[in-house]
Amino acid sequence: MFFEKNTQSSEKNNDKTQIPKQPESKINADKSDNLKTNNCNCCNCDNQENNKEKENKNLKQKETSNSQTQANNCNCCNCDNQENNQEKELEKEINKLKLQLEQQKKEFDEQILKNQAELINFKKRSKQQNIQDVKYASMNFIGDLLMPLEQLEKVLEYSTDNELLKKYLSGFRMIQQQIQNVLQTEGVEEIKALDKIFDPALHHAIETISDRKKPNKTNLKVLQKGYLYKEKILRPAMVQVNEWSDENGKN
């Protein structure tokens, strides 16, 4: 019994000798080292996660910035295209307005030239008309004078044996001659019509007869004298016209 107890105690002692007890400070140090290691490992994990998150954020930011850059580039391209289109439209509008202005200027220039030509022609016509008005200013007066002059001529055709009347008629003939001289000075001349070919511009046919012994279309008789005033017809001559046809019916 005693031997067994001793053996047991010796075994216990042997066990104690085999596993030496470590001091608490060392144990605590080991624990702290383990904690530090664990903490470092945790920090590394956190850092890695943070780095990954940062990388993801950076990637997202880069993608966002790239997309924004692309969008900005697209917007810039669109803006440039819009500006180019606007410039082209403005150039077209400017060219259109220039053409319109040139056309209007051309029309105005043509109208000015036309107005100037019309003004020149108007001045010429006015000047010519004034000359004509001055030239023929006495035409109406002379036309009114013809009738009493013709009445005087008819009186002078009267023949008489009375000496006193002959003297009066002689005086009237002198007055008639003086009036005719004045009229000639003013440009009045008698239209020659007797035995002349009928001219509708100078002669007015009052009646027609057929006399084959005399030329066709000739004035056989003057019924009323005609006059020219400065080469302008004052009054046509009233005539009797010879008119006949040949065997074939031709005049």
d(CA 31, CA 22): 13
67, 70, 75, 76: CA torsion to nearest 10: 140
**Which residue range(s) make up the domain with 143?**
136-242
Whether residue 24 lies inside any domain: the answer is: no
> Do residue 124 and residue 181 come from a single domain?
no
Same domain, 221 and 143: yes
Q: Which residue has the tokens 């000639």?
A: 184
In a domain, 2, yes or no: no
* Per-residue pLDDT at 204 exceeds 90: yes
Q: Are residues 151 and 211 in the same domain?
A: yes
If pLDDT is split at 50, 70 and 90, which confidence band does 63 have? low
Taking only the tens place, the pLDDT of each residue in 184-201 is 998 899 999 999 999 999
Residue 17 resides in a domain: no
Q: Which of 101, 118, 135 is the endpoint of a domain?
A: 135
Query: For 65-124, what is each residue's pLDDT tens digit?
Result: 666 666 555 555 566 677 788 888 898 899 999 999 999 999 999 999 999 999 999 999
The residue that leads in pLDDT, 249 or 235, is: 235
Query: Of 109, 135, 161, which closes a domain?
Result: 135
Residues 100 and 187 in one domain: no
Question: What total of structural domains would you count in the chain?
Answer: 2
Same domain, 125 and 162: no
In Å, what is the CA distance from 182 to each residue of 105, 175, 177, 186, 187? 60, 11, 9, 6, 9
In a domain, 217, yes or no: yes
27 domain-assigned: no
- Whether 173 maps to a domain, the answer reads yes
**Residue 148 has which token pair?**
């009493």
User: What is d(CA 244, CA 208) in angstroms, rounded to the nearest whole number?
Assistant: 9
Q: Measure the CA–CA gap between 189 and 229, rounded to whole angstroms.
A: 7
Sole residue written with tokens 């002059």: 149
pLDDT digits (tens, 9 = 90+) for 129-183: 888 888 888 888 888 888 888 888 888 888 888 888 888 888 989 998 999 899 9
Q: Are 142 and 126 in the same domain?
A: no
Specify whether 181 is located in the same domain as 226. yes
Q: Six-digit token pair at 63? A: 């993608």
Do both 175 and 236 map to the same domain?
Answer: yes
Residue at 125 is within a domain:
yes
Residues 88 and 176 in one domain: no
| Amino acid (one-letter) located at 147 | M
